[in-house]
């Protein structure tokens, strides 16, 4: 039997942002200086890992860092709009504590059962999951056998982790994905079989 083709995907969350701990979602804010430092340190720590392409959310907190890294490494960079963060509706721009105070029931439902509850007037969770999983599976197919750095968001990366590990989407709020957190997957492709996903590291 021939050896499987291996694709490596590194999921990197953006660093800390201007404005403190708020629901950013689709709000296009910038990285703070701390956030820049976090992301630069993380990619330096993994030694660029043989990436062939950088794929980024179009939002500035991902895009600006990805553009800098692409220039430094002479790697191609593409923007994938389907990897933008979830739109949090009425919670957009609010500190977490304020969103909880305004609608404690919706807050509790969202954090306890995110697969069954969506932010008030925000993007429906099933729609969000479909666009993210569709985009990331498309990248695996397109870049089969290569190594990608995907720069995205907390909720986006949680959806991908649940999807590839066969976990229920309701588990996503139980996953720790810190600022500049990096999760590495290896995907094994064997002719006539579905891809097999292995969580290689998460830090």
Q: Is 85 a catalytic residue?
A: yes
Blockwise average pLDDT, block size 10, the chain, 203 residues: 91 95 93 98 89 98 98 97 97 93 92 90 95 98 97 98 96 95 97 93 87
Claim: this prediction has a pTM higher than 0.85: yes
Q: Is 130 annotated as a binding residue?
A: no
DSSP, collapsed to helix, strand or coil, labels residue 8 as: strand
User: Using CA atoms, how far apart are residues 186 and 7, in angstroms rounded to an integer?
Assistant: 6
Tell me the DSSP string of 19-44: TSSB--TT--PPBPHHHHHHHHHHHH
Residue ranges and CATH numbers for the domains of the chain are 5-202 (3.40.50.1240)
Q: Which residue of the set 68, 71, 82, 85 is catalytic? A: 85
Q: Is 163 a catalytic residue?
A: no
């Amino acid at each position: 039997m021939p050896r499987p083709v291996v694709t490596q995907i590194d999921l990197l969350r953006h660093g800390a942002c201007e404005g403190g701990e708020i629901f950013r979602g689709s709000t296009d804010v910038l990285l703070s200086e701390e956030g820049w430092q976090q992301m630069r340190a993380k990619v330096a720590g993994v030694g660029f890992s043989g990436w062939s392409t950088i794929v980024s959310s179009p939002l500035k907190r991902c895009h600006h860092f990805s553009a800098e890294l692409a220039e430094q490494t002479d790697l191609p960079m593409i923007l994938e709009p389907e990897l933008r963060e979830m739109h949090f509706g009425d919670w957009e721009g609010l500190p977490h504590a304020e969103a909880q105070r305004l609608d404690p029931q919706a807050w509790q439902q969202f954090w306890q059962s995110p697969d069954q509850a969506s932010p008030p007037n925000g993007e429906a969770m099933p729609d969000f999951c479909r666009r993210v999983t569709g985009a990331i599976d498309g990248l695996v197919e397109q870049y089969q056998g290569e190594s990608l750095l995907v720069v995205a968001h907390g909720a986006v990366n949680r959806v991908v982790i649940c999807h590839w590990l066969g976990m229920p989407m309701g588990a996503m709020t139980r996953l720790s994905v810190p600022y500049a957190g990096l999760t590495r997957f290896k995907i094994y492709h064997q002719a006539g079989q579905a891809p097999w996903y292995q969580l290689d590291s998460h830090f």
